[in-house]
Amino acid sequence: MPAPYPVNLAGEALWLLPEKAVYWPAQETLMVADVHFGKAAAYRSLGQPVPHGTTASNIEVLDDLLARLPCRQLIFLGDFLHGPGSHAPGTLNALADWRGKHPHLAMTLIRGNHDKRAGDPPAALNIRVVPEPLLLGPFAVQHEPDPHPSRHVLAGHVHPVYHLRGKGRQRLRLACFRLGSDISLLPAFGAFTGGYRVEQDNDCRIFVIGDNEVWPVN
């Protein structure tokens, strides 16, 4: 089983997971950002020959996490669906089947920019949809990484990646968590998503993800 990386943030113990998710043990809460369900289907609807199977891959990872971790609620930090083309029958049927396996799990979506374009998930999925921020304990859980006046922000949207440098021109591009003093970023959970390069500074800690592990950048 991939090992979580425990951190303390805003006085709370959180686990950074190599599956590109955050687990809050005290609240039995799993948080993921930027799943972008149906993104590949949306691209295929535009005639782009992108691969099949990304929705199934995302669902498989979520199922594995829910099987391993005591979980009372699952929070999506925005961009659940990618766009209008994500409402393809194959995508929605797969999501309905998945939801049927977890009928008693509370699920919340914090509406992100892609959700505004795609529309809310079908009501049959029984996912509560709320605007940002969602206030939980010391955290303002959001999609956009905008500062909050009194809470530490947990956000998505950016799809952070970090470039590890080797000898010469060698570079390795890895998804990462960027934990700041006031705003922390989750990596994009989705299997078919891009990334935005972030840098380390005195105000943040970077934790990269690779080979089913999470480790800090020194």
User: 34-38, 71-75, 94-98: which has the minimum mean pLDDT?
Assistant: 34-38
Q: Single out the residue of 65, 74, 72 nearest to residue 2, CA to CA.
A: 65
Domain residues for the domain of 11 are 5-216
Residue 49 pLDDT level (bands cut at 50, 70, 90): low
Per-residue confidence (pLDDT) for residue 168, from 0 to 100: 64
Taking the model in full, what pTM does it have? Answer: 0.90
Per-residue confidence (pLDDT) for residue 170, from 0 to 100: 73
CA angle 98–106–57, rounded 5-degree value: 30
Per-residue confidence (pLDDT) for residue 32, from 0 to 100: 98
Per-residue confidence (pLDDT) for residue 41, from 0 to 100: 57
Task: Give the tens place of pLDDT for each residue, 83-114.
Answer: 666 667 888 999 999 999 999 999 999 998 87
Total number of domains in the chain? 1
Q: Single out the residue of 65, 214, 74 nearest to residue 136, CA to CA.
A: 74
Question: Is it the case that residue 45 has pLDDT exceeding 60?
Answer: no
Classify burial at 200, counting beta carbons within 10 Å of its beta carbon; exposed 0-12, middle 13-18, buried 19 or more. middle
Q: Which residues lie across from 29 on neighbouring strands?
A: 24, 73
Residue 73 pLDDT level (bands cut at 50, 70, 90): very high
Q: Single out the residue of 142, 81, 86, 130 nearest to residue 106, CA to CA.
A: 130
Buried b (16+ CB within 10 A) or exposed e, 144-170: bbeebeebbbbbbbbbbbbeeeeeeee
Question: Is it the case that residue 50 has pLDDT exceeding 70?
Answer: no
Residue 73 to residues 41, 66, 128: CA-CA distances in angstroms?
27, 10, 11
Q: Residue 133: is the preceding peptide bond cis (ω within 30°)?
A: yes
Q: Which residues lie across from 213 on neighbouring strands?
A: 210
Per-residue confidence (pLDDT) for residue 118, from 0 to 100: 72
Task: Give the tens place of pLDDT for each residue, 173-191.
Answer: 899 999 999 999 999 998 7
Q: Which CATH number characterizes residue 82's domain?
A: 3.60.21
Q: Which two tokens stand for residue 15?
A: 């686990």
Q: Single out the residue of 155, 177, 190 nearest to residue 83, CA to CA.
A: 190
Per-residue confidence (pLDDT) for residue 86, from 0 to 100: 66
**Contact predicate 164/217, CB 8 Å:** yes
